[in-house]
Amino acid sequence: MSPGINGSIYLMNGKTPMNHLMKQWTRYFKSAVYTIRTCIWISMLFPLLYGAFAIPVQAETQNALSIVYFNSYHQGYKWSDDEQKGIQDAFAKKDFKRPVHFFVEYMDTRRIVNEAYLKQLSQVYKEKYRGIPIDLIISSDDWAFNFLNEYRKDIFPDIPYVFCGVNYFDPNQIKDHHQITGVNEAAGIKETLALIFTLHPQTEKVLIINDQTITGFKVRGPLLRETALMGDRAQFEFTDNLTVPEILEKVNHLNERSVILFTFLFRDASQQFYENSEVISRLKAVSRVPIYGAWDFNLGLGIVGGMLTSGYYQGQKAAEMAIHILSGADIDQMPVVMESPNRYFFDYSLLEQYGIPMSKLPEDSIIINAPKTIIDFYQKNQLIVLTTAIIFLLTIEFILMFFGFKIRKANRKLALSEKKYRSVFEHTGTAMAMITKDTTITMVNSEFEILSGYRREEIEMKKSWQQFAHQADLKKMLAYHQQRRAQGADVPVNYEFRFINKEGKERHVFVTVGMIQGTESSVASLIDITDRIRTEKEKEYLIVKLKHALNNIKTLKGLVPICAHCKKIRNDEGYWRQIEEFVQEHSDAQFSHGICPDCARIHFPEHDIL
């Protein structure tokens, strides 16, 4: 398209200028769409490509908190697993606003422990953590505690350190160490012994099962001290010098006034190694008396319970102290927690077995194997419960809305029906009343007001129909009222009675009574028949009078024999009587004698009678 000399637009190559312009704009539009689409795809793919090929940035690692946790034992050992879970749960509740990296070291000292092994571990850890900035160290149980006391200065100099699970901690153990604190582990021997005598006041003997390991020697001291304080409360017998078979034999012969206190037994007097769970299960198999414990890892294996040392609460308490330190607290100002965080634990199934009531247990006791309650289910499945509850409530809301609509529709129909039937009730032309089982009148119409002389508000829910019945009819009517509500009773539907109105006047009424289906109420229709009764009585009186009159009328019937000359009449006996005598005998007619003109002329011609 080109402009002409005079500025006008002309054709080029046989195409109109406007058509050519539209095609150019179409090309430009397609190009723009393609460019925009390409930019969108690149912007979407870039993060993926960056994540796949970009070199990891060290900033996050540098800003993260790094914690090394030394576990004395191995993964799968319940006690240390509980300690580790307590630590993890406590840290899970704290938001440090940056990542927390845990390095977990399992020292496996239940399987192997000697000086050479520990020395090699120290060299491994020193090399492993060379160049890694560590913010805090946590350890659990004695072997890790002793190891770090010896090698921490070399591996982790000047790093804050929190321990837990150290049996019967002595402050002298860390007198030459700094930036260290932790949680003491001590069995609740005193509390458990007191509990035994509270729950079993008849106890005469306590058999104490403890071993000769290092921890066993530490526990033996408090056991001796607390039993000595009990005096002669009961006999206390220790089994440290017995083998497991000998202990089982002794347990088998305990009487019902005995109780067992079990701490742990890893090695017996013959130095034979046993798993704790094995010993507990064998004790439970031969024991007829309850077994109490000192550590929670025995719970669920056969002990009733007690004030138990808990690995979980040991770890949780140590983690809480570590969190305070990482949040800025001065570790050197935080003393070791000497009061072991023990808790009362009990096995519900064994409480039931030995008849121990829950009401006698200490407050805040933790019960395992208890029947699950709705609260337990809710606490473990809050999301499911809340989602189900919301769906249920929405469903109920929908149902309520649906049935609300149905009910409103039904109510409209009911109101219309009630209006129609109330109109019928009101305009039947007879007095109407609705009556309950207790004879109360609940509703009347205007005709009943006229019949009774009372206003509607004076009758409804205030008066009984008995107040309108004549005393002579009341007994019969009450019987009908009760029989009508009995199954299969044959009661008259219609009958008459005497109705007493407000003025005390008596009206004769014809009543029709029927039950309202599905209720114990009845409806009565009353017709005033007083005028009809009066008319009937007047009719009866007139009939009586007529009958009396008819009875006094005598008539002559049949052939009467009469003399053709003298006019005498022969009676039934054959005598001839004067006609007036015969008539008088057979009717109420009376005769008065006179003389007719013809006879007067014949018999008395001399007299002018007429």
DSSP 401-440: HHHHHHHHHHHHHHHHHHHHHHHHHHTSSSEEEEE-TTSB
| Six token digits for residue 556 | 């002559």
State the sign of the Cα–Cα–Cα–Cα dihedral 476, 482, 487, 493: positive
Q: CB–CB of 569/562 below 8 Å?
A: yes
What mean pLDDT, rounded, does the chain reach? 85
| Six token digits for residue 254 | 């305990």
pLDDT at 496: 93
Radius of gyration of the chain (CA): 60
Residue ranges matching CATH 3.40.50.2300 in the chain: 60-185, 189-308+341-371
Q: Where does the pLDDT of residue 471 fall: very low under 50, low under 70, confident under 90, or very high at 90 and above?
A: very high
Lowest-confidence region among 198-202, 458-462, 569-573 = 569-573
pLDDT at 16: 37
For the chain, give the percent of residues with pLDDT over 90.
Answer: 57
CB atoms closer than 10 angstroms to residue 150: 12
Higher pLDDT residue, 7 or 443? 443
Query: Alpha-carbon distance 378 to 385, whole Å?
Result: 6
Query: Alpha-carbon distance 134 to 124, whole Å?
Result: 16
SS3 265: coil
- Scan for tokens 């088998």, then name that residue: 252
pLDDT digits (tens, 9 = 90+) for 341-353: 999 999 999 999 9
Please name the residues in contact with 166: beta carbons below 8 A apart, sequence gap of 6 or more.
141, 142, 145, 173, 182, 183, 184, 185
Please name the residues in contact with 569: beta carbons below 8 A apart, sequence gap of 6 or more.
560, 561, 562, 563, 576, 577, 578, 579, 582
pLDDT digits (tens, 9 = 90+) for 517-528: 888 899 999 999
What fold is seen in the domain 189-308+341-371? Rossmann fold (3.40.50)
- Residue 96 phi, psi (nearest 5): -85, 0
Which residues face 497 on adjacent strands?
Answer: 509
Overall average pLDDT of the 115-122 stretch: 96
Helix extents (H) in 200-347: 214-230, 244-252, 276-286, 311-326
Lowest-confidence region among 116-120, 264-268, 402-406, 557-561 = 557-561
pLDDT at 52: 40
pLDDT digits (tens, 9 = 90+) for 354-389: 999 999 999 999 999 998 877 777 777 888 888 888
Q: CB–CB of 203/290 below 8 Å?
A: no
Query: Alpha-carbon distance 66 to 69, whole Å?
Result: 10
pLDDT at 476: 92
Please name the residues in contact with 281: beta carbons below 8 A apart, sequence gap of 6 or more.
301, 302
Domain 60-185, architecture per CATH: 3-Layer(aba) Sandwich (3.40)
Q: Is the pTM of this model over 0.75?
A: no
pLDDT at 507: 93
Overall average pLDDT of the 183-188 stretch: 95
Overall average pLDDT of the 577-598 stretch: 76
Overall average pLDDT of the 459-469 stretch: 94
**Nearest in space to 108 (alpha carbons), one of 76, 154, 153:** 76
Lowest-confidence region among 2-16, 277-291, 406-420 = 2-16
What's the longest Cα–Cα distance across the chain?
A: 200
Overall average pLDDT of the 7-17 stretch: 35
Query: Alpha-carbon distance 68 to 494, whole Å?
Result: 101
Residue ranges matching CATH 3.30.450.20 in the chain: 428-533
| Six token digits for residue 584 | 């008088």
User: In this structure, what is the dihedral angle of CA atoms 578, 584, 589, 593, given to the nearest 10 degrees?
Assistant: 40
Q: Where does the pLDDT of residue 610 fall: very low under 50, low under 70, confident under 90, or very high at 90 and above?
A: low
pLDDT digits (tens, 9 = 90+) for 487-542: 767 889 999 999 999 999 999 999 999 998 888 899 999 999 999 989 988 898 99
pLDDT at 44: 44
SS3 content of the chain, % helix, strand, coil (to 5): 45, 20, 35
Q: Where does the pLDDT of residue 445 fall: very low under 50, low under 70, confident under 90, or very high at 90 and above?
A: very high
- Residue 364 phi, psi (nearest 5): 65, 20
pLDDT at 2: 36
**Nearest in space to 470 (alpha carbons), one of 438, 434, 440, 507:** 507
3-state helix/strand/coil string of 106-158: ECCCCCCCCHHHHHHHHHHHHHHCCCCCCCEEEEECHHHHHHHHHHHHHHCCC
| Six token digits for residue 142 | 């004695």
Burial class (CB in 10 A: 0-12, 13-18, 19+), 505: exposed
Domain 428-533, architecture per CATH: 2-Layer Sandwich (3.30)
Q: CB–CB of 309/294 below 8 Å?
A: yes
Query: Alpha-carbon distance 329 to 326, whole Å?
Result: 7
* Per-residue burial over 58-75, b = 16 or more CB atoms within 10 Å of its CB, e = otherwise: eeeeeeebbbbbbbbbee
Q: Where does the pLDDT of residue 404 fall: very low under 50, low under 70, confident under 90, or very high at 90 and above?
A: confident
Q: CB–CB of 90/323 below 8 Å?
A: yes
CB atoms closer than 10 angstroms to residue 254: 17
Tell me how far the alpha carbon of residue 272 is from its chain's centroid.
55
pLDDT digits (tens, 9 = 90+) for 247-275: 999 999 999 999 999 998 988 999 898 88
